[in-house]
Amino acid sequence: MTRKLFLIGMAVVTAVLATHLLLTILDTAVAAAPTDTLVLYDGALGGTPDTQNFEYAAVNPTFPFPPAQATQTYSPALQATILDTTPEIGDLAGYAVTPTLAPILDRQVGFRLDFSMRIHSEDHNNNDRAGFSITMLSEDLLGIELAFWENEIWAQEGGDPPNLFTHAEGVAYDTTASMVDYELEMVEDVYQLSANGVPILSGMLRDYTAWEPPFPFVPDPYEQPNLIALSDNTSSAQGEIWIAYVAITTETTPLLNVNPINLTVSEAAGTAVLNVQLSYTSTFTVTVGYETVPGTAVPGIDYTPISGTLTFPPGLTSQNLAIPILDNTLDEPDREFTLTIADPTFARLGQSSAAITIQDDDEIIVDPLMEVYLPLVVRP
């Protein structure tokens, strides 16, 4: 079994190539990115991915280790790189981001790989293998390896052998028809793949660390944090793949904000209405807990406490919370309490609390006599 040797070879190559000169060139490219999106390869700029933020390796791991016949060719007409492993099925070839350049891929705040590509052709002699795969691992080594066939995209199973690296959930999809803009997002424990803006496949993240290199001196790519690799990593399949664009974006989950931060209502208002808003639409279903926290205002006397969970289906970005305010006839100071949100899923907390002030609307109950005679006393 030689399927994972490509990634091993790539890791070794990475170590060899990590020269000061290379890092200087790559750092320059990274610094140009203005946001938390890091463009890893842009075919419109010209050149193959290894002239930008990727490294390339091609090996034939079968004894006596003949030179790899796989090629990478930049096409000005396509503004893309053609990776071709069809000359020899035994070849392993592809790209990985230099570990020192990879951003931290934190599942709790989410990250997303955007890639534009077309499977020109793909062929495999094993139901559990594919001529092209995208592998992305989080900082804590959970991730997904997606296999691309001409007519299906599917996930490699994780865990322990014999299930490890077998054909798991997939979706029928024509990967050959045209260049497709894919988005592979990971948040918390799940991944979701979209094609041209439409979610097509999702599932749980996998743990591939049970795989072990066949030689103790080579590093294990499945135990390399923040791994991003695009490759034919098997001797059981081959393909011709056109790659036009790859970028990684971190902190992809939206922020949850309570508005307004300070709200003043009359005791007679009936309700205090607060708004909970997502900073942008999520393709995941976002939830967040909420509850009222007493201050000088007393639950059951000044307001009716509320608590629960808000759910934002994909597309919904705003919801209101109405807190019942209780009226009375006592003259009293203004009273305050707080609404807080906590424990979000598929989102981050932004402004997580709001202070509500209940203004008293009752007047001093004066002695009727005073009310009648006081004006007479003060009148000149």
Interaction of residue 231 with Ca ion, rule CB under 5 A: no
Annotate each residue in 169-208 with x if it binds Ca ion (CB under 5 A) or - if it does not, as one string: ----------------------------------------
Query: Please, which contacts does 258-262 make with residues 24 or more away whose CB atoms are closer than 8 Å?
Result: 258/339, 258/340, 258/341, 258/351, 258/352, 258/353, 258/354, 259/351, 259/354, 260/354, 261/351, 261/353, 261/354, 261/355, 262/354, 262/355, 262/357
CB of 61 closer than 8 Å to CB of 53: no
Look at residues 255, 293, 262, 292 and name the one whose alpha carbon lies nearest to residue 277: 255
Q: Is 360 in the site for Ca ion (CB under 5 A)?
A: yes
Nearer to Ca ion, 176 or 279 (CB): 176
Which of 267, 321, 341, 346 binds Ca ion (CB under 5 A)? It is 267
The residue among 24 and 65 lying less far from Ca ion, judged by its C-beta, is 65
| Burial environment of residue 179 by CB neighbours within 10 A (0 to 12, 13 to 18, 19 or more) | middle
Does 62 interact with Ca ion (rule: CB under 5 A)? no
CA-to-CA dists, residue 237 to 48, 70, 177, 338, angstroms: 22, 12, 20, 60
C-beta of 25 vs 301, nearer to Ca ion: 301
> 330 or 376, CB closer to Ca ion?
330
Pick the piece of the chain touching Ca ion (CB under 5 A) from 132-140, 231-239, 276-284, 305-313. Answer: 231-239
Preceding amide of 214 cis, omega within 30: no
DSSP class of residue 187 equals E
302 binds Ca ion (CB under 5 A): no
Percentages helix, strand, coil for the chain (3-state, rounded to 5) are 10, 45, 45
CB nearer to Ca ion: give 109 or 326.
Answer: 326
Query: Binding of Ca ion at residue 334 (CB under 5 A)?
Result: no
Under the criterion CB under 5 A, does residue 328 sit at the interface with Ca ion?
yes
Task: For residue 47, give the nearest of 79, 12, 25 by alpha carbon.
Answer: 79
Considering only CA atoms, which of 94, 41, 70, 85 is closest in space to residue 244? 41
Query: Closest separation between CB of residue 363 and Ca ion, Å?
Result: 10
List 361, 370, 373, 374, residue binding Ca ion (CB under 5 A): 361
Specify the stretch interacting with Ca ion by CB under 5 A; choose among 15-23, 28-36, 190-198, 359-367.
359-367
**What is d(CA 197, CA 202) in angstroms, rounded to the nearest whole number?**
14
Min. distance of Cβ 18 from Ca ion in angstroms?
Answer: 22
Question: Rounded to the nearest whole angstrom, what is the least distance from the CB of residue 165 to Ca ion in the complex?
Answer: 12
**Total of residues contacting Ca ion (CB under 5 A):** 14
Binding Ca ion by CB under 5 A: which of 174, 189, 291, 327?
Answer: 327
Q: Given its phi and psi angles, is residue 299 left (phi above 0), alpha (psi -120 to 50 degrees) or beta? A: beta
Find the shortest distance in angstroms from Cβ 125 to Ca ion: 10
The answer to whether residue 220 forms part of the interface with Ca ion (CB under 5 A) is yes
**Which one of 32, 198, 330, 364 is in contact with Ca ion (CB under 5 A)?**
330
Pairwise CA distance, residues 37 & 247, whole Å: 7
Nearer to Ca ion, 96 or 288 (CB): 96
Cβ closer to Ca ion: 152 or 360? 360
First CA to last CA across the chain, in angstroms?
A: 109
> Binder to Ca ion among 121, 291, 362, 374 (CB under 5 A)?
362
Distance CA 360, CA 71 (A): 78
The residues of the shown chain that bind Ca ion, judged by CB under 5 A, are: 85, 209, 212, 220, 232, 238, 267, 327-328, 330, 332, 360-362
